[in-house]
Amino acid sequence: MNNDEKQLLSEEHLIDSFSRHAKTYDRYAQLQKSMAERLASLLPVPLPDYIFEIGCGTGLFTRHLLTQPVKQLTLNDIAPGMLKILSNSLTLPLNTKIFPGNAERIHFEKMDLVCANAVFQWFKNPQEALVKINQALTPNGSLIFSTFGPKTLIEFRQAANLLSPINLYNKDSWADMIRDSGFTMKFWDVEIRKIFFSSSLALLKNLQQIGAAPIRMIKTGGLRKLIRDYDSRFSTSQGVYATWELYYFSLVREN
């Protein structure tokens, strides 16, 4: 990984990018909203007492938690701008704790359930994060999360001749990390989606408006070439398409 890629993935860049685009996130994050809806189907009924959501963002998944009574809810996100939108848009129970911070470094109190929608791909060491979460869970506690697989935006990376700027592991790699972290995999599923945009420029705008566009990784003068190449290689009568590979996991802590 070169210095530009490291800069892109720096914590400061992520905080700034997601905070700056917090106001437009819900409008453009339709895929993440759909993932939240799918992940919510894995929630237990009734919910356990103590719940922790990692990377809550503007509350796309939090809304689903609030459809049931919650005794104690803790919400975390790396971007203060996201938490501000969440606080202003959702009516949260009085027993809700909110704090910003990098989930790979925060101290977890004992929890019955940890949730994370479209977050784990940003972790620099997801194996360590899994271990940390496992240790914080009560006996028979559970973790449900969604993340992206290695086929995600493969067309973009081919057109730009770039490696993925985030950690995209296949199912077997996740299975190994999950087992080695002390979890039992209760359920897993994968979805492959092709989503269409009017042009590659519209695709890039969509990624940018949710704070996830890796434009800084493209050399000066290369953006126009990328757009031309993408339009020529991945265009259909419906527009250009981009592939997303979506993983869903429901894990239980081994006692």
DSSP 8-state class, residue 173: H
What are 8's two structure tokens? Answer: 């892109």
Give the Cβ contact number of residue 227 at 10 Å: 17
Distance, CA of 152 to CA of 10 (rounded, Å): 21
Q: What does the domain layout of the chain look like in residue ranges?
A: 3-148+165-192+244-253
What are 103's two structure tokens? Answer: 């989930």
DSSP 8-state class, residue 218: S
Distance, CA of 90 to CA of 53 (rounded, Å): 15
Q: Classify residue 90 as exposed, middle or buried by CB count within 10 Å of its CB (0-12, 13-18, 19+).
A: middle
- Per-residue pLDDT 10s for the chain (255 aa) are 444 444 445 788 888 888 998 999 999 999 999 999 999 999 999 999 999 999 999 999 999 999 999 999 999 999 999 999 999 999 999 999 998 999 999 888 899 999 999 999 999 999 999 999 999 999 999 999 999 999 999 998 888 777 666 889 999 999 999 999 999 999 999 999 999 999 888 988 888 888 765 555 555 567 788 888 888 899 888 899 999 999 999 999 987
CATH topology of domain 3-148+165-192+244-253: Rossmann fold (3.40.50)
